[in-house]
Amino acid sequence: MENKEKQTIDLNKVCVKLYKHKVIFFYVIPIIAILSYLYIICIPRYYNTETMLAPEVDNSSNSSSLGSLASSFGIDMSNIKSSDAITPLLYPDLMKDNKFIFDLFRIKVNTFDGKVSSNYFEYLCDYQKRPWWGKLSKKEKKYQIPDNKTNPYHLNKYQDKIIEQIRTNIKLSVDAKNGVITISVQDQDPLICKTVADSVRNRLQDFITVYRTDKARKDVRYYEKLAAQAKSDYENARRLYGSYSDANTDIILESFRSKTEDLENDMQLKYNNYSTLITQLQTAKAKLQERIPAFTVLQGAAVPIKPAGPKRMIFVFVMVLLSFVFTSLYVLRKDIFKVFA
């Protein structure tokens, strides 16, 4: 069996050959460097800020204190349980919902230099810097500012474009281990960056609170309605009993006494019903209080001092390095083919 000669790479010969074709490098690398710089200088600078939020996931720790509070009113909360269909891991999916983003359109924002004061939608439309190839056409500039009657799920083309831009600017992530929510916002203005981050955090807190207390709030309204009706029935029965008793105080006929007892019993039944509903209403209110989540802001959004990008010098350096590598491969293409053939 014949032993094939192993192909080796002589670095000296490689360097010599590259040096012989140095003219190619003198042309390619400066051109790539200039083009890279011209490209990256057109990309507007942007800032990043983050805020971290820790929502309460399990309310079991509060059950004992609420239970003792409720028991003082004669309320049994042993059957109250906590369960959520939407877990914290699903909160980032809110950014896919047009309604959640649509509510951010009317956030009042001010630029760091104080020159611009508008809502977030107008700021993104009129005051965002764009590279020359991303400039808006005259047709696109004739946007329609959505009002309160606008259906967030039926937007025009330009409004939908702004929705997608906001989705790009705002990132929500959840740590699966501890449930901490991180909200990251990117924008061309540092103050607006912070403003939007705070607004998203507040709206997320409102969403979580409304979701977790929705059923409990409906129960409270339901029992309030029943208790109000029961109170009205009891007061009517009490007035009827009182007026009948006053009108027949001196009458000792059995029929009148029976009628009085019937009215008294009816009044007592209505009072018992009213008392029961009041207890159930207090239970529902205690449950509502239990369902209201607590939030801890672990990290507030700060106004960033330095831009997060683009990293212009790094970009140009990487492009120059890549141009050198690919030019070298082009010069050495025949030798590389011989080695791997």
Is residue 133 domain-resident?
Answer: yes
Is residue 66 domain-resident?
Answer: yes
Six token digits for residue 272: 């018992």
Per-residue pLDDT reduced to its tens digit, 70-90 = 455 444 444 444 455 567 777
- Separation in Å, CA 7 to CA 178, 200, 295, 337, 341: 55, 61, 66, 11, 10
Output the pLDDT for position 56.
72
Domain count, the chain: 2
Could you list the residue range(s) of the whole structural domain that residue 234 is in? 47-299
- The answer to whether residues 215 and 85 belong to one domain is yes
CB 190 within 8 A of CB 112: yes
Rounded Cα–Cα distance for residues 47 and 304 (Å): 7
pLDDT at 245 over 80: no
CB 179 within 8 A of CB 195: no
More confident residue, 338 or 4: 338
Is residue 305 domain-resident?
Answer: no
Per-residue pLDDT reduced to its tens digit, 251-299 = 566 667 777 788 888 888 999 999 999 999 999 999 998 888 888 899 9
Output the pLDDT for position 16.
84
- The answer to whether residues 22 and 130 belong to one domain is no
CB 321 within 8 A of CB 32: no
Per-residue pLDDT reduced to its tens digit, 10-38 = 778 888 888 888 899 999 999 999 999 99
- The answer to whether residues 187 and 227 belong to one domain is yes
- The answer to whether residues 74 and 170 belong to one domain is yes
Q: Which of 49-63, 137-151, 197-211 has the highest mean pLDDT?
A: 197-211
- The answer to whether residues 135 and 39 belong to one domain is no
- The answer to whether residues 28 and 133 belong to one domain is no
Output the pLDDT for position 161.
87
- The answer to whether residues 250 and 282 belong to one domain is yes
More confident residue, 305 or 11: 305
pLDDT at 141 over 70: no
Angle at 275 between CA 272 and CA 278, to 5 degrees: 150
- The answer to whether residues 146 and 207 belong to one domain is yes
Output the pLDDT for position 58.
52
More confident residue, 3 or 278: 278
Per-residue pLDDT reduced to its tens digit, 160-214 = 888 999 999 999 999 888 889 999 999 999 999 999 999 999 999 998 888 888 8
- The answer to whether residues 232 and 317 belong to one domain is no
- The answer to whether residues 29 and 166 belong to one domain is no
- The answer to whether residues 95 and 167 belong to one domain is yes
Is residue 37 domain-resident?
Answer: yes
CB 58 within 8 A of CB 89: no
Per-residue pLDDT reduced to its tens digit, 99-132 = 999 999 999 999 999 999 999 998 998 888 888 8
Is residue 268 domain-resident?
Answer: yes
- The answer to whether residues 112 and 254 belong to one domain is yes
* HEC letters along 46-76: EEEEEEEEEECCCCHHHHHHHHHHHHCCCCC
Is residue 1 domain-resident?
Answer: no
b/e sequence 30-46, b meaning 16+ C-beta within 10 Å: eebeeebbebbeeeeeb
Average pLDDT of the chain to the nearest whole number: 83
Q: Which of 288, 328, 270 has its CA nearest to residue 77?
A: 288
Is residue 6 domain-resident?
Answer: no
